[in-house]
Amino acid sequence: MIGKLNHVAVAVPDLEAAAATYRETLGAKVSKPQALPDHGVTIVFVDLGNTRVELLEPLGEASPIAKFLANNPAGGMHHVCYEVSDIRAACDRLKEKGARVLGAGEPAIGAHGKPVLFLHPKDFCGTLIELEQT
Ligand code: CO
């Protein structure tokens, strides 16, 4: 069911510093910052050719990554995103298998304008998983 790795998301306390580390120390291609107020994050993409890393910094009071950063002040890997061709079918299958879909339990429009859902880390080896319909 799952396809390619779309991105790995890393939560960071300081996006400018994190972008500089990837650009200057790791020699990576890093995009300009993009504020996504509806999703409570500012992001940059690190383009790796085969996939990308997204660096996420909290934006606003109710940022979904605020608690994660409180527990991981230096930052850390937040989620992995796998591609699926049919998010509705994926959602139904996962629920049938007993997996917990976070939030309202239904696909929603994600940070990239495409349908996504998030799965409970306790059901998936301690990793928060995002599925994105591509
Ligand atoms: Co993501």
Kindly tell me if the per-residue pLDDT of 19 is higher than 90.
yes
Confidence of residue 62 (pLDDT cuts 50, 70, 90): confident
User: Rounded to the nearest whole angstrom, what is the distance from the C-alpha of residue 62 to the centroid of ligand 1?
Assistant: 17
Residue-wise pLDDT tens digits, 108-125: 998 889 999 999 999 999
User: Rounded to the nearest whole angstrom, what is the distance from the C-alpha of residue 2 to the centroid of ligand 1?
Assistant: 15
Cα–Cα distance measured from residue 45 to residue 86, given in angstroms and rounded to the nearest whole number:
24
Kindly tell me if the per-residue pLDDT of 7 is higher than 90.
yes
* Cβ–Cβ < 8 Å for 82, 3: yes
Three-state SS across 20-68? HHHHHHCCCEECCCEEEHHHCEEEEEEECCCCEEEEEEECCCCCCCHHH
In the prediction, which pLDDT does 97 show? 97
Entry pTM: 0.94
Please identify which of the residues 54, 57, 130, 132 carries the catalytic annotation: 130
Confidence of residue 61 (pLDDT cuts 50, 70, 90): confident
Cα–Cα distance measured from residue 13 to residue 85, given in angstroms and rounded to the nearest whole number:
33
Q: Mean pLDDT for the chain?
A: 96
User: Rounded to the nearest whole angstrom, what is the distance from the C-alpha of residue 104 to the centroid of ligand 1?
Assistant: 17
Told to judge if 83 belongs to the known catalytic residues of this protein, a careful annotator would answer no
Cα–Cα distance measured from residue 41 to residue 36, given in angstroms and rounded to the nearest whole number:
5
User: Rounded to the nearest whole angstrom, what is the distance from the C-alpha of residue 128 to the centroid of ligand 1?
Assistant: 10
What are the tokens at 14?
């300081």
Domains in the chain, start-ordered, CATH in brackets? 5-133 (3.10.180.10)
